[in-house]
Chain A
Amino acid sequence: MEASKVIHAIYTDDDVLMNAVKKVKAERHHIEEIYTPFPVHGLDKAMGLEPTRIAIAAFMYGCVGLTVAIVMMNFIMIEDWPQNIGGKPSFSYIENMPAFVPIMFELTVFFAAHLMVITFYLRSRMWPFKKAENPDPRTTDDHFLMEIAVNGNENELSELLKETGAVEINLIDKEH
């Protein structure tokens, strides 16, 4: 449920932010988003975010790369035109395999790395002409911003956030 009104609480210290997150979570408020200028270690755990599955995706992409390499070289070097090149045995794939290993390795890494990066871009919706979603330019420099949905409890929320050490609390109407 997308709330139409949100509170932006701004912090200037990551430790304060971490404590604030824990407190807000303890009070069972839903944190929509947090904007930070740099990775804050442990923030994902404090927010209760699910662990990323990108490593699993990368493993599968690597398997795809390995398969591509094997199928490609088996077709080209063994099946399509098995020439005698410098006496290398091209009778079967396994016989000439050591010569193919460097390519098998590189293609595995290539597929795993590139497809993982592309997956990351897609999942985090990043592309060259994307409009920046930054609510406050200071969050790219030295401020931390916590966005919390408001469901008619703004006063109570403001009190709570003030207690946690927020330096600024803004009520934002999301429906521009």
Chain B
Amino acid sequence: MYTFSSKLKSVAIGLMIIGAIGVAYGFFSSHKDFAQVEEMLASESHHGDGHGETANHHEAEADDSHAVDHAQGTEHAHDEVTHAVAPVHGEHAEVDEHTKHVNHVMHAMHNRPWSALYVAAFFFFMIALGVLAFYAVQYAAQAGWSPLLLRVMEGITAYMLPGALIVLGIAALSHYVGHNNIFVWMNPDMVDPSSEHYDKLVAGKKGWLNVGMFILRGLIFIGGWFLYRYFSRKFSIAQDKANDDKNFKKTFRISAAFLVFFLYTESMMSWDWIMSVDPHWFSTLFGWYVLAGMMVCGITVISMITIYLKSKGYLPRVNDSHIHDLAKFMFAFSIFWTYLWFSQFMLIWYSNIPEEVTYFVTRFQDYQLPFLGMVAMNFVFPLLVLMNSDYKRIPWFVIMAGIVILCGHYIDIFNMIMPATVGDQWSIGIPEIFSMLFFAGLFIFIVFTALTKAPLTPERNPFLKESEHFHY
């Protein structure tokens, strides 16, 4: 039996407290009103007389409309500050334009702490869900190498339920408490033909994209995943004490069924929880793409926790070859992720259809460093580091590669959510980092608590012997 070391426990609790403070700070500091944002934009434009230059510099290759919008906005901010509020200004159009721009920036700033929280919550939830899928695959494929790691996976999947509920909760709260800070389609004005915010494209999708259905679907997905996790865990523990393999066979069956359910629901979940932040945009292989990222992160976390527990002497029967296999999976799924990332990008880039390509245009212009940096972190780095067979057996090597992969996939999620919610107002600062710290603490706390609940080796698993002698 594993005991949650008090040191790790206090680290987890500390992370949660520090994270919560940072998140709260992020929310308080983002509440800037119109005048404040206006002032901020004005002071930005005052920096140096070459304001046009700075704007150009910032927006190097910004898409036309936005660049114009921004440049005009700042220009007007410049004018408007001196004129203060001037209803009888004569040039109403300009005032409107300016108001629009300030509103736009203000909304982006209000969205930032919500999005930061959402990205972090989704990142940790996706690890747990990826591990759950990997776990089901181990049973359905009757893998002989992995039974020694099953309990580690079960520990990680304990985070799935709270993690998923938090993600769904943040999404729902952003509608009910916030001002639809994450999903613009949650704004009822968008589907109301009499409103000035009416959006025909979003209105056309309201059969799928409406808050009630969104929450209901989310609960169905979570319910299905939870039921699998609950029963597979129950049978797994029952198998320890059983004198036949009935429980194992049951898990085998529900795993196969779960994988079917999972592939459908994971796909829909990725439309709902991620793709719908850009309700004008769609991509058919998006669900797979999210799945690939999920699997890489899940497997990376399995190997990191396994290496940690082994270093503390809790997994004496796990050998180099298990680590080697996990590292191979990290390597292979990193490449699979890249394959899907590139397939999605290249097809859209190649055909260059305006309604699709804006997705990558905004990412490429406003998010160039994270967008390209993530490819280096998620592809080039694991490719070169984990290619050598000997390196895959060295624990610190796997941990190092794992840290880079996890950071890379955080940026991946960041790149999926942020451009739609905060646009060019993004940054990786206090709201983002402390949200990550908070959920990291929660994740560690829940996962390691779950690990103490059952012996770390599933005794009487029919493939246990094979796993113990696993040798590559």
Interface status of B387 (Cβ within 8 A of chain A): yes
Whether the pair B352, A87 counts as a contact (CB closer than 8 A) is: yes
Minimal beta-carbon separation of B363 from chain A (angstroms) = 14
State A120–B418 Cα separation when bound (angstroms): 50
CB-defined interface of A98-116 with B at 8 Å, one 1/0 digit per residue? 1101000000000000000
Whether the pair B352, A98 counts as a contact (CB closer than 8 A) is: no
Interface status of B214 (Cβ within 8 A of chain A): no
Interface status of A59 (Cβ within 8 A of chain B): yes
Q: Could you say which residues of chain B place their CB within 8 Å of the CB of A99?
A: 346, 350
CB-defined interface of B327-367 with A at 8 Å, one 1/0 digit per residue? 00000000000000010011001101000000000000000
Whether the pair B387, A98 counts as a contact (CB closer than 8 A) is: no
Which of B346, B352, B387 makes the CB contact (< 8 A) with A101? Answer: B346
Q: Please tell me the number of chain B residues within 8 Å of chain A, measured between CB atoms.
A: 8
Residues A41-76 near B (CB distance < 8 A):
55, 59
Q: Could you say which residues of chain A place their CB within 8 Å of the CB of B283?
A: none
State A101–B338 Cα separation when bound (angstroms): 12
Minimal beta-carbon separation of B67 from chain A (angstroms) = 19
Interface status of B311 (Cβ within 8 A of chain A): no
Whether the pair A55, B346 counts as a contact (CB closer than 8 A) is: no
Q: Could you say which residues of chain A place their CB within 8 Å of the CB of B342?
A: 98, 101
Minimal beta-carbon separation of A63 from chain B (angstroms) = 11
Which of A55, A87, A98 makes the CB contact (< 8 A) with B389? Answer: A55
State A55–B387 Cα separation when bound (angstroms): 10
Minimal beta-carbon separation of A101 from chain B (angstroms) = 7
Residue of B nearest to A87 (CB): B352
Q: Could you say which residues of chain B place their CB within 8 Å of the CB of A55?
A: 389
State A101–B346 Cα separation when bound (angstroms): 9
Q: Could you say which residues of chain B place their CB within 8 Å of the CB of A87?
A: 352
State A59–B389 Cα separation when bound (angstroms): 13
Whether the pair A59, B387 counts as a contact (CB closer than 8 A) is: yes
Q: Could you say which residues of chain A place their CB within 8 Å of the CB of B346?
A: 98-99, 101
Minimal beta-carbon separation of B364 from chain A (angstroms) = 11
Residue of B nearest to A41 (CB): B471
State A87–B345 Cα separation when bound (angstroms): 17
Minimal beta-carbon separation of A103 from chain B (angstroms) = 12
State A101–B343 Cα separation when bound (angstroms): 10
Residue of A nearest to B384 (CB): A59
Minimal beta-carbon separation of A85 from chain B (angstroms) = 12
State A59–B388 Cα separation when bound (angstroms): 10
State A101–B342 Cα separation when bound (angstroms): 9
State A99–B345 Cα separation when bound (angstroms): 11
Residues B201-240 near A (CB distance < 8 A):
none
State A59–B387 Cα separation when bound (angstroms): 9
Q: Could you say which residues of chain A place their CB within 8 Å of the CB of B345?
A: 98
Minimal beta-carbon separation of A42 from chain B (angstroms) = 9
Q: Could you say which residues of chain A place their CB within 8 Å of the CB of B350?
A: 98-99
Minimal beta-carbon separation of B443 from chain A (angstroms) = 35
Residue of B nearest to A99 (CB): B350
Interface residues of chain B, those whose CB is within 8 Å of chain A, are 342, 345-346, 349-350, 352, 387, 389
Interface residues of chain A, those whose CB is within 8 Å of chain B, are 55, 59, 87, 98-99, 101
State the 3 A-B residue pairs at the shortest beta-carbon distance, nearest first: A98-B346, A98-B349, A99-B350
Q: With A98-B342, A99-B346, A101-B346 given, name 9 new contacts (CB 8 A).
A: A55-B389, A59-B387, A87-B352, A98-B345, A98-B346, A98-B349, A98-B350, A99-B350, A101-B342
List 12 interface pairs A-B (beta carbons < 8 Å), by A numbering. Answer: A55-B389, A59-B387, A87-B352, A98-B342, A98-B345, A98-B346, A98-B349, A98-B350, A99-B346, A99-B350, A101-B342, A101-B346
